Structure 1
């Protein structure tokens, strides 16, 4: 029977509450029957939604497709995100050569080798957080006790941001990535963070520090290569992305594994770093927490999946749908930590793929291996259907995860 699709469906689409770890079911229908099709956004615009794995990779690697959020036709995620345009400009919303020039300033800070050298420090943080959990009451919210502090501590140390200010930047970050944030609230939170980071740059200019923001201040600000505002914007991106994404992956990944005890046992009892690393890649694929797509706009006419996209038209590369494409992954809706899933697109693809992925991998590998080994009886204190999933956020996850052991 032929599936009848709406002429222009609204996007984003609703998930099935019975399957909160799966992408919205209509995405699978579009991937099968109309893999490149129009969708309608909050502002009435109708960009193209690309849902097949091969097409998503092609779009994200095509130099005729722009990441510049200031261009007409760019499909902004929310009214708040649209209102922030011009307030903050980082390399992820630039095209080459500006993108390459800014990104190059950070590549040495996030190499695989350098992130691996951080593994003992990450292990120490993880062990300390678990020690505190074991010494405290049960149940406990894993988000506040473990998932959020870990990447927050690490990114603060890397950037040179005082961890004592975490309540402020956590609150501002939540506002920035909230789908229902008003334009005024989103702009206000952005301005607050930029002012805070700008002041931090001033302090590092007066008293140099041995951290990423201190290095940028010494090497770029004092030479006139970057302005105070540009360094603050880069710091905002790294600070927000550096804790929100990994925190949500640890929380959501734990919730998914606790629902799949066989998979959890394979990870917990394997005792092999390669098994843990493979499990992290599968969780990244399976969950794809950047669940509202990678946003782009066409610079020239191009054909994607047999469909002509005109210059100036918006494009959304649905990486969550791509990561569940049966053409790229056998039995894609199953969580299988033995699967070779490293070719997923959870970190994006092409020149704009996530700069911090080596750090995220180290953090998740240490977190998952240690948490389940040291708390072998870890269990949900609330059923999955009662968990507050982050349908209201740009980054998917769980607001709270009550656990016991």
Structure 2
């Protein structure tokens, strides 16, 4: 069959950070299987020509090539072929029976500066190729994964199974990804603002904690990438680790009332809400700038919080379920981290597993504490105005 020339114009859409391997000498063009055809415009609709994408070609480059019908346009790395762009024609291969390429995933974790050297040494012991990447401390490639640690501390892992890489070669957990609807539901931040939230008010054991953070829109986008969401949607382990990262990243303020101080202050207020409002106000004052927007997860009548912040030049907003805003979500994570650490400290100090919440297991833990340390010591670990106090007394056999 007479072959007629076909003019094809194709545009390569490789990534901006793609790099070209530099190998001396000529290299034969390589066929690349499993990549998706891109940017092909056929001058003759009936002709059958495919274009195979290689990641080393930059996004803005266009090439013109001529191929016969039934041929495959292939990019080579050696710079040979049409117009020295490494484009050649090859006979169309038979249908491939190989397994399709695995879906690529990307995970991002934050690595403290103090651990950069240890991570590099650990990866150097593996079968990885170290590469130079702009703005990166280092980048490695191997085992189907590319991992780049940027100087900012962001470790970006790309491959079909980045979770496996993190589990094997690092001490970091893969970030828990919020469901798409949750991530999409986070309120967008356009300017600097403060978010404030609390934890521990429904827990018999442990402190009452309020945390506030200050951030802007750019940082907020990073936090969404990290998987920051309402702390109630996170496991304890994830909240503890994420809290460390957020403290290092954000301007923040934490107000903590341990049980002894809580039991001393609580009777001086007309209920919990005014006390909680004062703690929010103290946390916000520590971060406030004139006119800055402040969002608080509403826990009482709006006037209670307004009264506590009277005289502070901020734009106060209150909303139920304010954790949908990433600033409040970040504050909730830090507050919960602080609470969990405090509860753990108390458990270790007194040799009793003090539990979260205010249910029956909490009552049993309280009774065990009283049997070991006496009734008068309960106020060191628990909020005594809770109804659990009487239940603990009965379980400990102190009420006849």
Rg larger for: 2
More strand by share: 2
More helix by share: 1
TM-score by length of 1: 0.21
Q: Which has the higher contact order (CA 8 A, sep 6+)?
A: 1
TM-score by length of 2: 0.22
